[in-house]
Structure 1
Amino acid sequence: MSDLGDLFTPERVAVVGATDREESVGRALMSNLSAFDGKVLPVNPNRETVLGEPCYPRIDAIPDASAIDLAVVAVPASAVIDVVRQVGEAGIRNVVVITAGFSETGERGRQREQELIDVAETYDLNLVGPNCVGLISTPNGLNVTFAQGRPPEGNISLMSQSGAFIAAVLGWAAQHGVGFRHVVSLGNEALLDEVDFIAEWGDDPDTDVILAYLEDIDDGRGFIETARDVTKHTPIVVIKSGRTEAGAEAAASHTGSIAGSDRAYQAGIDQAGVLRAMNIHEVFDYGQVLAGQPLPTRDDVAVVTNGGGPGVLTADAIGESRLTLADFEDDVSAALAELLPEEADVANPLDIIGDADLDRFRRTLDTVLGADTVGSAVVLSVPTALFEFEDLAGVIGDLQERHDKPVVTCLMGGEEADRAADALGEYGIPNYFDPARAVPSLAALADYRDVREREYESPTEFDVDSERAGEILAEAVDRGVDYLGVEAMELLDAYGIPTPASGLAESADDAEAIAEEIGGPVVLKIVSPDIVHKSDIGGVEVGIPIEDVQDTYRTIHKRATDHDPDATILGVHVEELVDPDESTETIVGAKRDPQFGHLVMFGLGGIFVQIFEDTSFRVAPVSEHEAREMTGDIHAAPMLRGARGRTPADLDAVVETIQRISQLVTDFPAITELDINPLVVAPDGVYAIDFRLTIDREMLSTS
């Protein structure tokens, strides 16, 4: 992680590629720097002056070039490497490369970008880009972008992997009065990425909220660890594109990145304490309310309105959210009944009816914000001739500050509502036309409160036989296979995960001998690296008496060879029949994600896992608290807890199994996929009944 130093606070800025030619990037950069507090130094060998400023042919031609704090590069891609080398040799620490034509363009571009990285690392540069729009810092008027629009100064810092997103937001922000502190277009992230800026802005006392538009996260583990530290005091809101398969493909073609699964991103974002917005409205709605309003102490919301319809819509939105409508205590209801007309309903949502004047709004809102059962409020109003919206905005703002509880508004109208929104903005109160946007913003405050209160813990380190596990995996490499099934159940034993008594039979006689040693009915499963779904081809038989074991062995062996005559058959796995009373089939698994590492899964198992997809995910390593959360995330959680008179399942054993699998895949990154399906959960323990994993043989052999 880089020390960004004075990247956002330069006093001298060199613009390499500066020009006064109309409709050029070099001119746009110079024009946007017109409000910069410091000195601007244009560099172009073909100009003597640019927009009235003396122009230098090269960086090293500038007197005292080492005192330059930031160099902005907008020259053809073929010249960028030499220019950045000059920047490094001059002793300049910070450089923004606007130029495109790097990894986003193919193999030659990727080679050029690697050369750029090598030069930047040689000179220890803070490199932003390439292929970016630039960056902005409003306190000193720094705007080294070629975008139109200059955002107002504020306390929100924004980063984006999409330059188009930045260009669109700047004009929108200026129009709507949304203020920013810093804005950075990340571009290809050749060196500096989102993790660096999260760390930088997390240490900035004047950045109250961090917003990010991301298409890809290269260092998932670094993102989680850094964001966890920052979100303890500064909220982070991310809008992540590429959620669908089509979107992921579009993101890859646009940025040259490799998109990881959205489930991995969601798990990583959740574990980092980051709030996720699902659209552009949400990312700025959340940002504004988090920057302007206090956190609620409870999830109960009061709704105050002079129109019944908007109040009902708001109640619907609350019912669809994590929030609840507040109940008023008797003394509050009595106070409301005394100050409101008889025809007003003192229930929540509180309709103070259409003839409400400013004083009625004031006294009603004062009463409900003072109620102990109210954590936050939504105030709605339609225009009437009885008061001005701007005056109502002042009343709402004063009461919000007095009670120090979060308030959002829906003052519905045209220009009058716009003026009121400006007045509310002075109090940090966002105004929405639609309650469907107001309520999720309050929910975001509650979500961030929970993040602040969350206590992170280190994963449990169990006493396991990792040496034996390594030997089992190494044997697979020696055999030239990358798939292991029930024949490798000893791997689970090595990590303390309960398995039935079992053995691998290579003949019918062996199968009978193993069954006799186990005793009682047994389960027989074909073992072949070429047959993954054994049940589909009749390769599993359950509850076989000892006297029938030999015949069953021959039957399922024949089914396997009939299905695939070329399949390698290692034998038949004979195992104890585990069928405890009131058991539930679950699944515990893991899959290696290219960005975040291993994603651990828990859910309803057996044949239901692919039908219902009732699963929960976390990024490994998983702590005990996170594993326990996973057992409660799934829709079938009440069944495990003992719904409708069932004996509760042994959730402690499930939680421990999830952690042990997390430790296994953390210890052996070469495991690419792993499933225990089913993991049978009973009231007094768990058993791993079936198992399969795949390994990266090349990675394992070199580790």
Structure 2
Amino acid sequence: MGTLDTLFAPDGVAVVGATESEGSVGRAVMENLLDGYDGIVVPVNPNADTVFDVPAVDSVTDAEGVELAVVVVPPTIVNTVLEECGESGIQDVAVITAGFGEAGSEGAQLESQMKAIAAEYDLNLVGPNCIGVINTPTGMNATFSPKFPIEGQISFMSQSGAFITAVLDWASDQDLGFKDVVSLGNKAVMDERDFVEYWGEDPDTDVVLGYLEDIERGQEFIETAQKVTSEGTPIVAVKSGRTEAGASAAASHTGAIAGSERAYEAGLQQAGVIRATGVQELFDYATILEGQPTPDTNEVAIVTNAGGPGVMSTDAIGDSQLEMADLNDDTVERLEDTMPDGANIYNPVDVLGDAPTDRFEDALEIVLDDPNVGSVIVVACPTAVLDFERLADAIVAASETTDVPIAASLMGGHSADAAEKILGEVGIPSYFDPARGINGLDALYEFAQLQERGYEPPTEFDVDRERARSILERTRERENNSLGVEAMDLLEAYGIPIPEGAIVDSPGEAVEAAESIDGDVVMKIVSPDILHKSDIGGVEVGVPNDEVADTYGDLISRARNYHPDAHIIGVQVQEMADLDAGTETIVGMNRDPQFGPLVMFGLGGIFVEVLEDATFRVAPVSESEATSMLDEIDSAPLLRGARGRDPVDEGDVIETIQRISQLVTDFPAIMELDINPLVATPEGVSAVDIRLTVDQEEL
């Protein structure tokens, strides 16, 4: 797939299916192109000599000077047109026509053929089932959207064409500009990753926005987005469809918790995408990221003429990753000398309700000089002595003397319109609700952190892959594709500590195994058909040597009573983990269709699915990401010595997460995996139990 320069800025566009018929898409696309596009427009229609007085041609093969074909013919004809495009050297195609993968088996077959043709001719194909593409610098509106945006530095992609038409209509009232707009449609060939990559290298795109319903190539998207954000282009996206689809069908604890939203949450976080919860946030973030520099710290100063909105702003900061700036002594002294009696000279700086523009200007200058201040928000309510336009001029003047980002909240209606326009012209966002301003500064700080994060490769551990492969291949010998404690050696092959123990198939062997272990033992039924052993009384803890033989018989009997046809391998006799000295955690994996292996870490034991105190990352997981996983769970204080407990060896926990990440990356056949519990103590970790599911066709 080549560059997308000629997709967005072609010398000429062919409209295949152009027509003057009222209410048709072919007419709308032609009218839009003829309205402002500065390139060649060629209508393709064998049944017309001209379309809107422009000479028509019978086939796209007859179109000269064309680099982009916009296709609006019936679905059964589209693939013939694509072949003609390929043969004519037209590399860029936008298929607006619907009736493909979204329309049943026949449409899916046509879409499959479309992909093959695109691959044969190396076509940059957008769609099908989309509204087309827009490029404002050339005036090209190759869509059937009725609204053409003003020019700007935001590039926008959306899986919903209707969302684009609504946004463009709304944005025109907000003076919000775009460079490129693309409707992704069915994403038969080109998807979000292709456009993120292109816009990341585009010097005229300052911010990438997306409305996404799914992500086709999760791993590739993460890698591309990481590169783009680290090189200075922020990506902001709304991801719809937050349901936990698929969780109920999963067999493991990890699978039960890891629905599709968990995967997107982890994947987009690792990709460096800033997530917005809705349209308003999407464009609030876009505006401030486009117009303001990134802050050096997360400390915010508030300058306001109203106590209530100042408190609202403070509350919003408390709900974010930002903090109230601690103004230094020099700043406080200067404010004290400058502000009238009754003014609050600490943060938030309240210049009082009778403040004219000059007082705002003085306060703003002083707080911007404070090295502790990472960003500033000016919150102002209309009064008889305050002119919003003069205040806007003062904010603009202050912004020209500093690299500290500034946001404004001018809490008025029409009285604020002219001032907001003044601010907007220099990239200073203004919001009626001060909380929106704080959220915008929060997004700006998040992007600053993403840029500093950079890329850290995962650690490559020395492991025994062949031993691991032989253990996984045991599933070929059974009807069930699950492995339990009989696969403990798999963990040992990847350097994860396991307790001493053995799987036995007679009372005598059980006694012999127990005698080789110091102290009482744990005994567990071993059967691929019994997943939750404790639920059926299949686990006995603290068994003394003289009760081992009887316990063996009891476990077998319980298993037979629960599942008469179960395949029982035997009983595991295992060294007891010191749970009093440690904390039960879980490390697991569920393989997501879009992102691949999704690694989980959290509080383990029998309550794992009830508490759901867990966090996720898409494998491979780096050391810093594994470290962050420990920080993110609510029960992190338990690991660090809460209520007089000794802190666990966090280094061993972090390493175990990375080793599991390597295991599931090395073996795509592993579909689900749980180590529960992974007992973490001050001396290290021990994997007490394991359960995994294998796709035998992948071995």
Deviation string, structure 1 residues 142-188 (Cα, Å, up to 9, x no partner): 11010111111001100111111111111111111111111100101
Counterparts of 2:348 and 2:288 in 1: how far apart (Å)? 22
| 2:244–2:259 contact (8 Å) kept in structure 1 | no
Of all paired residues, the percent bearing the same amino acid is: 57
SS state at 2:577 partner: coil
Deviation string, structure 1 residues 639-685 (Cα, Å, up to 9, x no partner): 21223332210011111111111111111101000000000001011
Counterparts of 1:357 and 1:193 in 2: how far apart (Å)? 52
Kindly provide the amino acid, as one letter, of the partner of residue 189 in structure 2: L
How far did residue 343 of structure 1 move?
A: 1.6
- Asked if 1:110 corresponds to 2:108, the answer is yes
Kindly provide the amino acid, as one letter, of the partner of residue 310 in structure 1: P
Deviation string, structure 1 residues 437-481 (Cα, Å, up to 9, x no partner): 111110001100000111322111111111011111112112233
| 2:246–2:260 contact (8 Å) kept in structure 1 | no
Change (3 A) 1:622 1:2: farther
Equivalences for 1:134-533 in 2 at 5 Å?
Answer: 134-232=132-230, 233-245=232-244, 261-533=260-532
How far did residue 520 of structure 1 move?
A: 2.2
Counterparts of 2:105 and 2:501 in 1: how far apart (Å)? 52
Quote the residue 1:43 is aligned against: 44
Kindly provide the amino acid, as one letter, of the partner of residue 45 in structure 2: N
SS state at 2:584 partner: strand
| 2:325–2:373 contact (8 Å) kept in structure 1 | yes
Counterparts of 1:245 and 1:621 in 2: how far apart (Å)? 23
Counterparts of 2:661 and 2:403 in 1: how far apart (Å)? 43
Counterparts of 1:308 and 1:68 in 2: how far apart (Å)? 61
Kindly provide the amino acid, as one letter, of the partner of residue 397 in structure 1: V
| 1:216–1:260 contact (8 Å) kept in structure 2 | no
Quote the residue 2:26 is aligned against: 26
Deviation string, structure 1 residues 162-221 (Cα, Å, up to 9, x no partner): 111111111111111111111100101111111110110001011011011111111111
Kindly provide the amino acid, as one letter, of the partner of residue 66 in structure 2: I
Kindly provide the amino acid, as one letter, of the partner of residue 407 in structure 1: I
Counterparts of 1:159 and 1:466 in 2: how far apart (Å)? 42
Counterparts of 2:480 and 2:493 in 1: how far apart (Å)? 20
Deviates more, 1:579-588 or 1:551-560: 579-588
Equivalences for 1:613-652 in 2 at 5 Å?
Answer: 613-652=612-651
Deviation string, structure 1 residues 393-450 (Cα, Å, up to 9, x no partner): 1111110121121111110111121222111101101111111211111000110000
Please provide the CA RMSD for this pair. Answer: 1.6
Quote the residue 1:551 is aligned against: 550
How far did residue 380 of structure 1 move?
A: 1.1
Q: Structure 2: where are the runs of 5+ without partners?
A: 249-257
Kindly provide the amino acid, as one letter, of the partner of residue 517 in structure 2: I
| 1:231–1:273 contact (8 Å) kept in structure 2 | yes
SS state at 1:6 partner: helix
1:122 to 120, 123, 129: 120
Counterparts of 1:147 and 1:303 in 2: how far apart (Å)? 41
Kindly provide the amino acid, as one letter, of the partner of residue 48 in structure 1: D
Counterparts of 2:417 and 2:547 in 1: how far apart (Å)? 82
| 2:4–2:124 contact (8 Å) kept in structure 1 | yes
Counterparts of 2:177 and 2:574 in 1: how far apart (Å)? 66
| 1:152–1:177 contact (8 Å) kept in structure 2 | yes
| 1:676–1:690 contact (8 Å) kept in structure 2 | yes
Counterparts of 2:29 and 2:490 in 1: how far apart (Å)? 60
SS state at 1:481 partner: coil
Counterparts of 1:187 and 1:260 in 2: how far apart (Å)? 24
Deviation string, structure 1 residues 549-599 (Cα, Å, up to 9, x no partner): 011111111111111112111111111112165200000111100111100
Deviates more, 1:535-544 or 1:427-436: 427-436
- Asked if 1:677 corresponds to 2:676, the answer is yes
Counterparts of 1:519 and 1:247 in 2: how far apart (Å)? 44
Deviation string, structure 1 residues 300-334 (Cα, Å, up to 9, x no partner): 11111111111111111111111111122122111
Counterparts of 2:389 and 2:49 in 1: how far apart (Å)? 53
How far did residue 633 of structure 1 move?
A: 1.2
Counterparts of 1:246 and 1:677 in 2: how far apart (Å)? 23
Deviates more, 1:475-484 or 1:526-535: 475-484
Equivalences for 1:554-703 in 2 at 5 Å?
Answer: 554-579=553-578, 581-700=580-699
How far did residue 132 of structure 1 move?
A: 0.3
- Asked if 1:8 corresponds to 2:30, the answer is no
Counterparts of 2:184 and 2:132 in 1: how far apart (Å)? 8
SS state at 1:211 partner: strand
Counterparts of 1:481 and 1:697 in 2: how far apart (Å)? 10
Counterparts of 1:245 and 1:582 in 2: how far apart (Å)? 35
| 1:2–1:196 contact (8 Å) kept in structure 2 | no
SS state at 2:421 partner: helix
Quote the residue 1:256 is aligned against: none
Change (3 A) 1:286 1:247: farther
Kindly provide the amino acid, as one letter, of the partner of residue 56 in structure 2: C
Counterparts of 2:422 and 2:518 in 1: how far apart (Å)? 80
How far did residue 260 of structure 1 move?
A: 7.0
Kindly provide the amino acid, as one letter, of the partner of residue 158 in structure 1: F
SS state at 1:489 partner: helix
Kindly provide the amino acid, as one letter, of the partner of residue 562 in structure 1: N
Kindly provide the amino acid, as one letter, of the partner of residue 538 in structure 2: G
Q: Structure 1: where are the runs of 5+ without partners?
A: 250-258
Deviates more, 1:544-553 or 1:333-342: 333-342
| 1:260–1:594 contact (8 Å) kept in structure 2 | no
Kindly provide the amino acid, as one letter, of the partner of residue 444 in structure 2: L
Counterparts of 2:293 and 2:518 in 1: how far apart (Å)? 65
How far did residue 239 of structure 1 move?
A: 0.9
SS state at 2:470 partner: helix
How far did residue 113 of structure 1 move?
A: 0.2
Kindly provide the amino acid, as one letter, of the partner of residue 192 in structure 1: M
Counterparts of 1:220 and 1:242 in 2: how far apart (Å)? 16
Quote the residue 1:71 is aligned against: 69
How far did residue 612 of structure 1 move?
A: 1.5
SS state at 1:343 partner: coil
How far did residue 384 of structure 1 move?
A: 1.8
Counterparts of 1:371 and 1:277 in 2: how far apart (Å)? 31
Quote the residue 1:254 is aligned against: none
| 1:2–1:192 contact (8 Å) kept in structure 2 | no
How far did residue 492 of structure 1 move?
A: 0.8
Q: Give the total of aligned pairs.
A: 688
Quote the residue 2:59 is aligned against: 58
| 1:242–1:248 contact (8 Å) kept in structure 2 | no
Quote the residue 2:92 is aligned against: 94
How far did residue 61 of structure 1 move?
A: 2.6
| 1:241–1:247 contact (8 Å) kept in structure 2 | no
Kindly provide the amino acid, as one letter, of the partner of residue 268 in structure 1: G
Counterparts of 1:446 and 1:71 in 2: how far apart (Å)? 41
| 2:71–2:94 contact (8 Å) kept in structure 1 | yes
Deviates more, 1:98-107 or 1:630-639: 630-639
Counterparts of 2:382 and 2:518 in 1: how far apart (Å)? 81
How far did residue 246 of structure 1 move?
A: 7.8
